Homo-oligomer: A and B are copies of this chain.
């Protein structure tokens, strides 16, 4: 390996150590999987661009947002060991309806949509792990949808505080407000209300 190896390869190696079933294929995976380190502020995809790639976050935080008639609306944040993948809901969905922005320097594995077939043939354990990840992703998206239907913005903030406290510390508060679907000023008032209630 040369000196210009992407630092993501080290993160990838650490990550793969967590999967004993991949041990026999570790060096192949480190060689063949494409890791990229994007600087903070990078836009990985824009609205209207073809959905060519999926990502897996080794380190960093990626924000997904849409442009709703000039207003940015934050849909999700992806952090360590989350996949970032938009499956087509139909044949018309081959183009992105959203943006992906790196909130920090981000080390990712980048895969081609519908790619990697040969590697999956060779390493059935990898296919199984990816299948489980997609199932978990579906479970999380189902939960997220239910929370959106059932909870108020304040309750969703409480959930975030409990489940992803590190996210609130890492991300500018205006994006958390946008994710909760409220104006930044209302978000500040809401946080003060919660602090006053608890003190």
Contacts and interface: CB of A to CB of B under 8 A. Distances in A.
A137 interface: yes
B149 A148 contact: yes
Contact of A148 (B93, B97, B137, B148): B148
Contact of A138 (B68, B87, B93, B181): B87
Report how many copies the assembly holds: 2
A86 B145 CA distance: 12
Interface stretch (A24-32, A38-46, A128-136): A128-136
Contacts of A73: 149-150
A135 B137 CA distance: 10
Interface residues of A, number: 30
A98 B139 CA distance: 14
Contact of A149 (B87, B146, B150, B181): B181
Nearest to A68: B150
Contacts of A87: 135-136, 138-139, 142
Interface in A159-192: 181
Given A68-B150, A148-B148, A150-B66, A140 B75 contact: no
Interface in A58-87: 66, 68, 73, 75, 85-87
A136 B146 CA distance: 19
Contacts of A98: 146
